[in-house]
Amino acid sequence: MTSSALTRPGQRERLPVKFSEIDWRLAGLTCVIAGVGAMMLYSVAGGNWEPWAAKHLLRFGACLLVMLSLALVDIRVWMTVAYPVYGVALLLLMAIEIPGVGYTALGATRWLNLGFTRIQPSEIMKLALVLALARYYHGASARDARFSWKLIIPLAMIGMPTLLVAHQPDLGTAMLLALTGLAVMFMAGLSWRIILTGLTAAAVAIPPFVMFVLHDYQRQRVLTFLEPEKDPSGSGYHIMQSLIAMGSGGLLGKGYGLGTQSQLNFLPEKQTDFIFATVAEEFGFIGCVTVLIVFGLIIATCLRIASLSHSHFGRLAAAGVTATFALYVLINGAMVMGLAPVVGVPMPLLSYGGTVMITVMIGFGLVQSVRVHRYMELPKGRGLF
């Protein structure tokens, strides 16, 4: 297929052509991570496909199909649904706040009971926020994005869901939302003056925030991560056991299926948030670095896709999804390594758990769509409709 053929009008709209434009390297890398995840889940279940590994693979297979389907969705459709999806997600987040509507578990009201299933609006919001911000900046001028009173609009778009999620309370997701939003603002070209002022303000504000605003259990988590050995049986236990698992893995690890910390249940949440510690225990430093390199390649691939897009919406949407993904990896990594408080952020594609996998894979579907439609130039105004 020559480039001249592709320049013919309508040629790019053909499905087989679109299909061939999908970034198969990105798809392959996600398969690698999900495969490693299934392998680790098989190991921590004591060499069993049940209860996690088989389900993990099945889910990933389904999500992969979703990603490939979404890749073919016209970028203008994405742009069109951006605001409505954000609006619906915001409404759902508010609905949770109405007593009796939200479903409470483990002391946090995060779910909406639909009768046949429960959904977590904050998960929808992760992508909705990226879409909405990309949509907004697509229409905004460079000056508006850099330094203008209009910055209040994206800030409000980030602030509203963040505060609602923080109130549930779900500190991890709220932080993720805020950081993702700020990352999109940054990519859109936010003035360095504002960035530096903001960072300074945050540095000043965080200690009092930790002391006075956080819930007790949240403060506990923040404080114990600083000194996990002080409270080895209480909230420091998670971090200590994770550190023991990782450290005892050494350079080459204890061997597949031989991680005592995870096999004997010393490692809490070994199949979800702390799956990376199991990788560290059984495959050691070499295994961990390999996994991190794969994650790095995924991020790099996504950023390259973002940079190749001809539309500002596509660039920002892909970059926003990449930022979300990178934040997942970095926050989870820092958490299991004792560099950040235990906030309940899983390792994407590696950890067991459907919600995050769906979010991430829909996100990658968006990224793929951006790649497939990279030559498409979009008007500043509305989307398709």
Q: Is 265 exposed, middle or buried (0-12, 13-18, 19+ CB in 10 A)?
A: exposed
Q: Lay out the site mask for other proteins across 263-282 (x = CB under 8 A, - = otherwise).
A: -xxx-------------x--
Only segment of 23-31, 86-94, 284-292, 356-364 that touches other proteins (CB under 8 A):
284-292
Query: Taking Cα atoms as reference points, which of 315, 246, 323 lies closest to residue 280?
Result: 246
Task: Give residues 292-311 in contact with other proteins (rule: CB under 8 A).
Answer: 292, 295-296, 299-300, 303, 306-307
Tell whether residue 322 is a contact of other proteins (CB under 8 A).
Answer: yes
CB 284 → other proteins: shortest distance, Å? 6
CB 157 → other proteins: shortest distance, Å? 19
CB 21 → other proteins: shortest distance, Å? 17
Task: Give residues 162-191 in contact with other proteins (rule: CB under 8 A).
Answer: 183, 186-189
Tell whether residue 260 is a contact of other proteins (CB under 8 A).
Answer: yes
Residues pairing with 104 in the sheet: 109
Give the C-alpha separation, 161 to 28, whole Å: 33
The SS3 call for residue 253 is coil
CB 6 → other proteins: shortest distance, Å? 15
CB 229 → other proteins: shortest distance, Å? 10
Tell whether residue 6 is a contact of other proteins (CB under 8 A).
Answer: no
Give the C-alpha separation, 260 to 282, whole Å: 9
Query: Taking Cα atoms as reference points, which of 108, 204, 202 lies closest to residue 164?
Result: 108
What is the secondary structure of 53-77 as a DSSP string? HHHHHHHHHHHHHHHHHHHTS-HHH
What is the secondary structure of 290-358 as a DSSP string? HHHHHHHHHHHHHHHHHHH-SSHHHHHHHHHHHHHHHHHHHHHHHHHTTSS-----PPTTTSS-HHHHH
Task: Please say whether the dihedral angle defined by the alpha carbons of residues 201, 93, 315 and 311, taken in this order, is positive or negative.
Answer: negative
Residue from 84, 87, 198, 379 in contact with other proteins (CB under 8 A) = 379
Phi then psi dihedrals of residue 103, to 5 deg: -100, 125
**Which residue lies nearer to other proteins by CB, 90 or 288?**
288
CB 20 within 8 A of CB 263: no
Tell whether residue 130 is a contact of other proteins (CB under 8 A).
Answer: no
Residue from 124, 164, 165, 329 in contact with other proteins (CB under 8 A) = 329
**Which residue lies nearer to other proteins by CB, 7 or 113?**
7
CB 320 within 8 A of CB 187: yes
CB 144 → other proteins: shortest distance, Å? 10
CB 347 → other proteins: shortest distance, Å? 11
Which residues of the chain form contacts with other proteins (CB under 8 A)?
141-142, 145, 183, 186-189, 241, 243-251, 260-261, 264-266, 280, 284-285, 288-289, 292, 295-296, 299-300, 303, 306-307, 312, 315-316, 319, 322-323, 326, 329-330, 333-334, 337-339, 376-381
